[in-house]
Amino acid sequence: MQVPLIQLQCGKVGHDSAAAKYAAATETGDFSIESEKPYAELWMGTHPSLPSKDVETQRSLLDLVRDNRALLSTEISRKYGEKLPFLFKVLSIRKALSIQAHPNKNLAEQLHAKDPKNYPDDNHKPEMTIAVTPFDGLCGFRPLKEISHFLASVPSLRSLIGEEAAQEYEEDVSGRETSSRAEDTQRNKKSLQSAFAALMTKDKSTIAAAAKDLVASAENDGEKFAGGGGPSNGGKELADLVIRLNGQFEGDVGLFVLFFLNYVKLEVGEAMFLKADDIHAYLSGDIIECMASSDNVVRAGFTPKFQDIPTLTSMLTYSYAPISEQKMNPVDYPYVTLNRTAYSSSSSAILYDPPIEEFSVVKTQLNDEGAKATFEAIDGPSIIICTAGSGKISVGPKNEQVKTGYVFFVGATAECVLESDSESFTTFKAFCELSGKETANGVH
């Protein structure tokens, strides 16, 4: 399957970009990697902005599934309007992506009706991220005690928010930071929203002046920066992060937002899930990303693009928790059979299953030549990308060679077999099945 590639300034450059290397693998003759250009995103799916194409016929996948509803399953086609319910991506990030959130379904409908240019879809966009190389990002609000610590130890942050707003936040959450009582949680969220909005609504000149003080402190204080950091991040780590991000977006409000958000690092194979209305900013790394099919983004920092700060500050969940609560715990995928060679080489099929129905992802790692994984048929569509090694894919009587970067669509109710012809063959399979065997326990 031929998949579209997006060139953005935040992307990794030339052959360093996994998105570019995977796109170039499909032998269509119309794309070659330019060594000085950045390449950020590879899209796989039926989203009308950039639908994938059949390599042989050049018909879009969107047209193919509209013409043959059985490829999706009747149930999925009926519920999701004759298109895939998910959008599968590879992201190669060199420079910080915008501070952003994706609206829930109701808000997406409102924003699309009011401003279709900036909000092209009426769908929500929960998303899951799986690291292909080491990754770092800002994801979700920190525990409240950590935010209080930074308000007390980063003078430029406190001056931006304002002494009155900072004190009000500290007094409101003190002693209730980890309370599980509903009334305390709601009060905490309201206080967090007030403090965060106070930061985000400051004018750019005031932010830029405060950023100079912040960067000077980061350059001079080392491990003592930000009061030595918080429980999650050391002072030197945060100082280096401020200096790095200021080099990309000088004087940006995002330099202060990082004290409100968890700074997370993912190793290869680790994953996290972000609900609609969760704030985040991806900073660097190559990732596999799967999301509900939407291109709606509400931005408010680290970007020259359209920013909608009032919408962002009003829409967020303001959930606060350590990043460990957003990381996922993948499990063995139970509906695959490995042959003897696969078992003896410790091959695996691992399921990443977020708490939504639109998608799940299976990572298959076959560790020897001849290792084979046979996937039971499901009542829904799949997209498979190879990220390392080579092998073959078989669906019914059809067999195809698979190389790194190749992408395949598998229709509903089709058994699929992957077989390695190399020592390491890695694939990711995004799929949707509304009922049946889509999870390890059979229930969504």
Tally of CB atoms within 10 A around 146: 21
Question: Per DSSP, what are the bridge partners of residue 281?
Answer: 138
What is each CA distance from 159 to 145, 155, 369, in whole angstroms? Answer: 19, 6, 61
Name, in order, each residue with C-beta under 8 angstroms of 113's C-beta and a sequence gap of 6 or more: 122
State the pairing for strand pair 382-388/407-410.
Answer: antiparallel
Amino acid at 284: S
3-state secondary structure 94-149: CCCCCCEECCCHHHHHHHHHHCCCCCCCCCCCCEEEEECCCEEEEEEECCHHHHHH
Amino acid at 82: E
- Is residue 253 classed as helix, strand or coil in its secondary structure? coil
Active-site residue identified among 176, 187, 299, 340: 299
Task: Assess whether 299 carries a catalytic annotation.
Answer: yes
State the pairing for strand pair 135-141/261-266.
Answer: antiparallel
Give me 177's structure tokens: 């930071």
Task: Give the whole-angstrom CA distance, residue 161 versus residue 230.
Answer: 19
Task: Give the whole-angstrom CA distance, residue 86 versus residue 381.
Answer: 10
Task: Give the whole-angstrom CA distance, residue 140 versus residue 326.
Answer: 8
Closest by alpha carbon to 438, among 374, 375, 384, 395?
A: 375
Question: Where does 330-415 show beta strands of DSSP type E?
Answer: 331-332, 336-338, 348-352, 360-366, 372-375, 382-388, 390-395, 398-403, 407-410
**The residue count for the chain:** 444
- Which residue's structure tokens are 């669906």? 395
Residues identified as active-site: 299
